[in-house]
Each structure stands twice: as C-alpha cells, then as structure tokens.
A and B are shown apart, each in its own frame.
Chain A
Amino acid sequence: MKYWTGAAVLLIAAFAASLSDVNEYFFYAAFVVLQFIVLATAWNILGGYAGYVNFGTAAFFGLGAYTAVLLFKALSAPLAVQIAGAAAMGGLLGFGAGMLTLRLRGIFFAIATVALIFILETVMINWRYLGGATGLQLLRPDVAAPFDSYTRMLFFVMALEAVAAVSVARYIQTSWIGRGLRAIRDTEEAAEASGVPTLRLKLVACTVSGALMGAAGAPMPMYLSFIEPASSFNLLYSVNTLAGAIIGGTAHWAGPLIGALALASLQQIVTVTISNEVNVLVVGVLLVAFVVGAPDGILGLFKRWIRF
C-alpha cells in the first residue's frame, strides 16, 4: 500500500511539473534519466533475478524505436499505439532470446545478445523506407492538451513507463515467479529437479524484460525528431543499463531504480560540465569498481547499516 501511495505521489508530482513553467531543459534531461530507469529495471528482471546477462539492451531499445517510427510513418499512429507496438516487438525478440537460453548459459547467452544488436542494426541500415544509414527526420505531431510542449508530454509518458516498469519488477520479485527465477540463478539444474518450470519462467522473464526495453525505446524518435541506426543501436545503451542495475544492486527491485537514477543524473552533469567521452569513462570505471569492490551495489552498501 505504501508503495502504491508513493508511486501515485511521484506520478502526480511529475504531472504537475510538466504543467508548471520549469525550464524546458529540465524535461530534456529528466527524460533520459527516466529512460534509463526503465531500461535498468527491465534488464534486472532477467539479469538480476535469473542471472542471465543481457548485453543486448541496445537491440531491444533500437527495435522499439524503429517499430515506433514504422507505425508513425506508415499509419500515423499515435504515441500510445507506437509504445504498445514497440513493447510487442520487444517482447517477441525477448521470447526469441529466451528460446536461446534453452541451450546457452552464461557468456554464450551474453554474446548471442550482442549479436542481436548488430544484426538488427544492419537490417535497419539496409531498410530504405525507414531512412537507411542516413536516418530519417520526423515531424512531431501537434501536442495534445493539457501539455504545452511535446517534450513535456514525453517526460510525463516516460514517468508513466518508469512507474509501470518498477511496479512490474516489484510484482515479479515478490511473486512465485521471482522465487523461481532466483532458484534458476542459484543452480538451474537443482531448480529444474525440484519442479521449478525453468523454461517457462525464463521465457516469461525474457519476454517481460524485452517488452519493457522496447517500450523504453518507443518515445526516443519523437524526443529527437530523428532516427538513425548507429545511435539507436549504440552499445552504450547496453553498458549504461548494465552499469545502472549493477551499481544500484541487482537483488531488489529498488536497486536498478537507485542505480539508474544516480548514474544517469551523474552522466547528465558530467556531459554538460566536462565532455561526453569522460561521461562514458565514468560509467566504465564505476561499473568495474562496483563489480569488484561492492558486488551488491549501493543497496548492498547500505544494507550493512539499515535493514529493510
């Protein structure tokens, strides 16, 4: 109950902010932070709970973005339909990746997900209708009331997605699905032998995680008014997502939320004050530092003092 009150308060605050006269730049930056909260939370459903490392965040994200563009260009579909379509495609790709986990564990699964990024990117580079390698300029439709600008609306949409993603992750963690996934992470064979439906659970985790990542990608083309393969399928999405989840802590739904919030805010600051390259360096160094020094993330560090 406390969780739902908190979520509702946050959503109302986001809605109020998007109607207030706060500087437009705030929404520009906050959109990216929220986007990484969705991605890291989605990643954690498979990576944190079940222990399958997905390096392919960029594949799901880019597929979502391109699905949205296709729906927009072919049918002039509204944003809600674009997001639903992107989630469906992401879920489908996730289901496919889940079938791979039938035979592949650990690094093989991780490498296979990297392959997804480059294969999808190559397809988009060769797909002229969606702009090919040079990309596609997009004209934003008129914004609906009560919002003043499209960016403000996208900010609120992303806030909705973030609340939805965290709620789904929280539900999965506390339900029997989460218990099954944790059993898979600890010892898959033992879980199978004790009657955990491992394949079904892995497919659920892969599909839900992929759908959320696809949904996270859908508003991106409208946010930039542009789409292009190289930046949509950038491996940086994969690193940032992985880093956000691991820095926050992968055992609890709040981990990726905290990690992505901290990391993406830090990135926004570093990008503005220093440079974009240093910002990537910061992510890499933090990722390695946490994975070596504090494997349970920020949550793990606090756990020593606070019990929750």
Chain B
Amino acid sequence: MIFSFDLLAEALLFGVLLGCFYAAVSIGLSVSFGLLDVPNVAHPAVMVLGSYFTYVLAGYGFDPIVAGVVLMPAFFLLGMLIYRFYYESFERRGTEAGVRGLAFFFGLAFIIEVGLILAFGVDQRSVQAAYIGTSLALGEYRIPYRMLVAFGVALLLTFSLSLYLSKTFIGRAIKAVAQDEPALRLMGANPVRIKQWAFGIATGASALAGAMLIIVGPVEPALDRLYIGRTFCVVVLAGLGSMTGTLGAGLILGVAESIVLMFFGASWAPAVAFGLLLVVLGIRPQGLFGR
C-alpha cells in the first residue's frame, strides 16, 4: 500500500464522480423499495436489461444517452406491468407476501439474467460514443469524459425525480402512499394505481441508469449481482425513500470504493458496498438520512 496526498485527492475526485453515478443507479430502487416497500431485488437486473437494449439501439446509430431516454417510456410500461403482477399475485392476497414476494423478484432477476445470456452470450458488451475512451486533462489529473457524462446525467436524474416527488400532485400522492396507505384509501384515493404509476417511474429511471451503466464500462449479464450490493447499500444508507439522502449515500459509497480501489487494489473493491451494507444494517438500519 502506497499512500500519498496526490493519490488521495485523485481517489476523492474519482469517488465523487462514481458516487453520483451510484446514486443514479439506485434512485429507481429508492422509489420502488424505499417508498413503496416492494422488495425489488430484480432492480439491478432490469437496469442491466436497459444496458443491453441501449447496446442494441446504439448498434442502429443512436447515442447511448438518447437511447436511454428513448427506452424510458417502454420501461415505464414494463414497470407498471411488473407491479400489477406483483400486486395481483402477492400484495392483494396479503398473507406471507414477504417470503414469496422476495422469491418472486429473485426468480425474476435470474430469468432476466439467463434471458440476456441466451440472447447475447456471456461476453462483455460496450458502446461507442465521442465521450467514451477520451479524458479531460485537469492539471495532473485525467478525468474520463464518460465519468463526467454519467455524473451530469446522474445529477439531472436525481434532482428531477426529487423535484417531481416534492412539487407535483402525483409526486406528493406517491409520498403520501409511502407514509400512510390506509389513510389514503380512506380519503377515497386508489393507492394501488398510485403505486403502479410510481413503480413505472422507478423502472423508467432504470432504463436511463442502464444506459449510463454501459457508458461507464462494459456490461455482462451477471453484472446485476454486484449491483444488488451497491444499490441496496445506497438505498439503506440513505434512509428508505429519501431522494437527497440517496445522493449523499451514493457519494459515501463512491468515495469509499474509490479509496479502497486506489490503496488496496481492484480485487477488494466488490466487497466495499456489501461490507458497508452489512455495517449499516447491523448498526443503523434506519439509515443516515432516515425519516
């Protein structure tokens, strides 16, 4: 282990960029699990699905980010379908939704993963764009443009979703469902339709997150396993359903991972998110920025 302040500064800089990216890939889960209480273990798998669709669209000449935006409506519908299915099969029947709901999403994640393997093989896939493979020289530091692009889109996605939830009527309705579903039912609103809408939005956001995932690095079908740790770490650390907390938690994870990467090597990095997750669950399950 070699320590120097230059390396530390570089690690911090890279960590901040990485952290915003992690916040963006977790924001969908922050809505679906954090606000709606759906044990959506398949969130990273859906995101990787988005990466592969981006890859296909990029093959037709689309810019990856444009591809991600184009995919959002389709994923919105997909999300509504998944929630409807989940609701009809588990939430409505009530009993034991916990074990079965978890098993359902776990199975769904594997169906997506194997579907991708059957369609694309196990090889890594990546996309081409002007900002991929080049970097910005900033004094002694070199920042890859792909990280900057992901950073920008991530901030935009996080802030727009957070504004949507706090300023619009439907956004506030979603928060109301999260706070007190029976009360909403008593007021004459239909919580199921609101939750379905919200789950659609969360899944739509995953499409763009998937596009960023393939911008930041090559993607393979089993990548979702690693992101189970990262996304749940961010969402739990953030305190369930807090949007600004998601950004803060993403930054903490990004910096931590980047420091470990820089000083201990890449082979330890995958354990950072899972380790942090275990520590948070063991010490403070309500998260740092919890309600």
Q: Which residues of A contact B (CB under 8 A)?
A: 47, 51, 53, 55, 100, 103-104, 106-108, 110-112, 114-116, 118-119, 121-123, 125-126, 133, 235, 238-239, 242-243, 246, 250, 277-278, 280-281, 283-285, 287-288, 291-292, 295
Do B271 and A119 have beta carbons less than 8 Å apart? yes
**C-alpha gap A122/B266 in the complex (Å):** 10
Do B285 and A55 have beta carbons less than 8 Å apart? no
Do B111 and A108 have beta carbons less than 8 Å apart? no
Of B13-21, B94-102, B160-168, B211-219, the one touching chain A: B94-102
Do A115 and B114 have beta carbons less than 8 Å apart? no
Q: How far is the CB of A184 from chain B (nearest CB, A)?
A: 13
Do B274 and A115 have beta carbons less than 8 Å apart? yes
Do A51 and B99 have beta carbons less than 8 Å apart? yes
State which of A122, A278, A292 has its C-beta within 8 Å of the C-beta of B118: A278
- 26 contacting pairs across A/B (C-beta < 8 A): A53-B99, A55-B41, A55-B106, A103-B281, A104-B285, A107-B98, A111-B41, A111-B232, A112-B278, A112-B281, A114-B228, A118-B225, A118-B271, A119-B278, A122-B270, A246-B100, A277-B114, A277-B118, A278-B114, A284-B107, A284-B114, A285-B107, A285-B111, A287-B103, A287-B110, A291-B100
Do B39 and A107 have beta carbons less than 8 Å apart? yes
Q: Is the CB of B117 closer than 8 A to any CB of chain A?
A: yes
State which of A100, A122, A291, A295 has its C-beta within 8 Å of the C-beta of B267: A122
Contacts of A116 in B (CB 8 A): 278
Do A115 and B267 have beta carbons less than 8 Å apart? no
Name the residue on B nearest A103 (C-beta): B285
Contacts A239-B106, A288-B107: A281 and B115 contacting too (C-beta < 8 A)? Answer: yes
**C-alpha gap A123/B275 in the complex (Å):** 11
Contacts of B96 in A (CB 8 A): 51, 295
Do A133 and B267 have beta carbons less than 8 Å apart? yes
Q: Majority SS of interface residues in chain A?
A: helix
Q: Is the CB of B226 closer than 8 A to any CB of chain A?
A: yes
Do B99 and A47 have beta carbons less than 8 Å apart? yes
Interface residues as binary, B227-248 with A (CB distance below 8 Å gives 1, 0 otherwise): 0110010001000000000000
Contacts of B102 in A (CB 8 A): 53, 55, 106-107, 110
Q: How far is the CB of B95 from chain A (nearest CB, A)?
A: 9
**C-alpha gap A133/B103 in the complex (Å):** 30
Q: Is the CB of B157 closer than 8 A to any CB of chain A?
A: no
Do A108 and B236 have beta carbons less than 8 Å apart? yes
Q: How far is the CB of B41 from chain A (nearest CB, A)?
A: 8
Q: Is the CB of B131 closer than 8 A to any CB of chain A?
A: no
Contacts A55-B106, A108-B236: A295 and B100 contacting too (C-beta < 8 A)? Answer: yes
Do B107 and A291 have beta carbons less than 8 Å apart? yes
State which of B100, B118, B232 has its C-beta within 8 Å of the C-beta of A281: B118
Name the residue on B nearest A238 (C-beta): B106
Q: How far is the CB of B229 from chain A (nearest CB, A)?
A: 6
Do A118 and B110 have beta carbons less than 8 Å apart? no
Do B98 and A292 have beta carbons less than 8 Å apart? no
**C-alpha gap A304/B164 in the complex (Å):** 50
Contacts of B282 in A (CB 8 A): 100, 103, 112
Q: Is the CB of B108 closer than 8 A to any CB of chain A?
A: yes
Do A118 and B229 have beta carbons less than 8 Å apart? yes
Q: How far is the CB of A193 from chain B (nearest CB, A)?
A: 20
Q: How far is the CB of B76 from chain A (nearest CB, A)?
A: 22
**C-alpha gap A115/B276 in the complex (Å):** 9
Q: Is the CB of B134 closer than 8 A to any CB of chain A?
A: no
Q: How far is the CB of A129 from chain B (nearest CB, A)?
A: 15
Contacts of B106 in A (CB 8 A): 55, 238-239, 242, 287
Q: Is the CB of B53 closer than 8 A to any CB of chain A?
A: no
State which of A103, A115, A291 has its C-beta within 8 Å of the C-beta of B229: A115
Contacts of A123 in B (CB 8 A): 271
Do B98 and A53 have beta carbons less than 8 Å apart? yes
Do B267 and A126 have beta carbons less than 8 Å apart? yes
Q: How far is the CB of B31 from chain A (nearest CB, A)?
A: 15
Do A287 and B107 have beta carbons less than 8 Å apart? yes
Do A111 and B228 have beta carbons less than 8 Å apart? yes
**C-alpha gap A89/B142 in the complex (Å):** 46
